[in-house]
Amino acid sequence: MKIIWDTLLSRFVEAGAGGALSFTRGVFGRLLSVQQQNPAPPALPAPPKVPESPLFWMPNAASEYSPHVDALFNFLLWVSAISIIGVAAAMIYFCVKYRATSREANEAAESQVDHSNTLEVTWSVIPLFLVIGVFVAGFKQYVDLRTPPRSAYEVHATGQRWKWGFEYPEGLSHPELHVPLGRNVRIMIQSVDVLHALYIPEFRVKMDAVPGRYTELWFKPTKEGTFPIYCAEYCGTSHSDMLTRVVVHTPEGFQAWVAEEIKKIEAMPLVDLGLLTFNQSGCSTCHSTDGSQKVGPTFKGLFGRQEKITSLGTLNVDENYIRESILEPQSKIVEGFPPSMPTFKGQLSDRRISGLIEYIKTIK
């Protein structure tokens, strides 16, 4: 401790006046260079820019359903705007017109007319028709939204702290939602831990992922492109990182994507498969590869490390320990970390687990 203090002190003295900046720069520079030496693993390809929305209030309208929601929203917005301007204008007008000019004028006899049938009927009937209209339009849209068409392309979505996963009928699982343009898509949603909500603003759809039951939503994409997917239900520490994207392909492009993905996974060397799994299965949400502290222990230098296990003592991290930690994460918790990792039993093939182990070995 004393040595560190002395070094720091001498650095400050050496630097003298005006040198504090360069000292800080030096410290940060060193931190930066450490990070550069251990770059994070190449994550999924950077998401293409979300196309600029031509709409003023709303993100792009990219599904068949979107314009209906927008129309209703705009209708309500303008009716409210016109109403508030009307009410405020009448109020100001009356304030000016009926203001007290003198004490005598104020005490003068007033008209005995206490209401106007025409006026009252008008201001009751017009809003009545407006709200009935809003109800009919809203109810129709709600029923549409809750009734997926029968011949839809079905994708399973799973929410898990803190990632989304999608499973396709072709036997493919992927952290992104890929869908063909112009086809009805139905998403079956489930959660393996807590409440999440699958939210795709550009499609104007959102649905909770509830542990222990299926929920669903559907849409028909009308625009090619890449749009963000959010989790819209607070689900813990990394809730705001629970992001992915939906990619809308042309029908031919979609077929090509599926074929390409299947080919990629079959042919992959173990280490690459491990890196892919690391990114796809959400490992990176809790485990860093650069030594920094996250929810779980860092993978940097993990293989061969002596770890202190809560109430069990020290063990050497080897292939079997890593495998056990993936399949039964609660059995041996490293001291100082919360027992919050979900099991991946039944989710990862043996080949993927071996891949992860080989990948972890490479992070020195």
d(CA 340, CA 333): 10
163 vs 352, beta carbon nearer ligand CUA: 163
Q: Which of residues 221-260 bind ligand CUA (CB under 6 A)?
A: 231, 233-235, 239, 242
CB nearer to ligand CUA: give 189 or 322. Answer: 189
Report the site for ligand CUA in 45-104 (rule: CB under 6 A). none
Task: Please state at what angle helix 117-146 crosses helix 66-97, rounded to 10 degrees.
Answer: 160
By CB under 6 A, what part of segment 13-32 binds ligand CUA? none
Question: Least distance in Å: CB of 196 to ligand CUA?
Answer: 3
Nearest distance, CB of residue 235 and ligand CUA, angstroms: 3
299/275 Cα distance (integer angstroms): 12
Q: Which is nearer to ligand CUA, 196 or 220 (CB)?
A: 196
SS3 190: strand
Give Cα separations from 354 to 105, 118, 124, 269, 359 (angstroms). Answer: 94, 81, 71, 11, 9
The DSSP secondary structure of 83-151, one letter per residue, reads HHHHHHHHHHHHHHHT---SHHHHHS--------HHHHHHHHHHHHHHHHHHHHHHHHHHHHHHS--SS
**85, 69 in Cβ contact below 8 A?**
no
CB of 163 to ligand CUA, least distance (A): 8
- State the minimum distance, in angstroms, from the CB of residue 153 to ligand CUA: 24
- Minimum CB separation from ligand CUA for residue 131, in Å? 34
- Number of residues this chain uses to bind ligand CUA (CB under 6 A): 9
Q: Specify whether the CB–CB gap between 248 and 222 falls below 8 A.
A: no
Q: Closer to ligand CUA by CB, 65 or 166: give it.
A: 166
| Phi, psi at 86, each rounded to 5° | -60, -50
Q: Hey, which residues between 173 and 212 contact ligand CUA (CB under 6 A)?
A: 196
Q: How far apart are CA 151 and CA 165, in angstroms?
A: 23
Query: Among 30, 38, 32, 31, which residue's Cα sits nearest to residue 289?
Result: 38
CA distance 358 to 26: 36
Of residues 305 through 334, those in contact with ligand CUA by CB under 6 A are none
* 160 token code pair: 């898990």
Residue 274 is a binding residue for ligand CUA (CB under 6 A): no
Q: How far is the CB of 229 from ligand CUA (least distance, A)?
A: 11
Residues 148-167 vs ligand CUA: string with x where CB under 6 A? -----------x--x-----
Rounded to a whole number of angstroms, the minimum distance from the CB of residue 190 to ligand CUA is 13
Element (H, E) at 273: helix 270-280
- Of 231 and 356, nearer to ligand CUA (C-beta) is 231
Rounded to whole angstroms, the Cα distance separating 348 from 264 reads 16
Nearer to ligand CUA, 74 or 279 (CB): 279
Q: Which is nearer to ligand CUA, 68 or 196 (CB)?
A: 196
Shorter beta-carbon distance to ligand CUA: residue 187 or 231: 231
The 8-class DSSP code of residue 241 comes to: G
Q: How far is the CB of 203 from ligand CUA (least distance, A)?
A: 18
Q: Which C-beta is closer to ligand CUA: that of 48 or that of 338?
A: 338
**From the CB of 277, what's the least distance to ligand CUA, in Å?**
20
**Six token digits for residue 245:** 């994207």
Query: Under the rule (CB under 6 A), what is the footprint of ligand CUA?
Result: 159, 162, 196, 231, 233-235, 239, 242
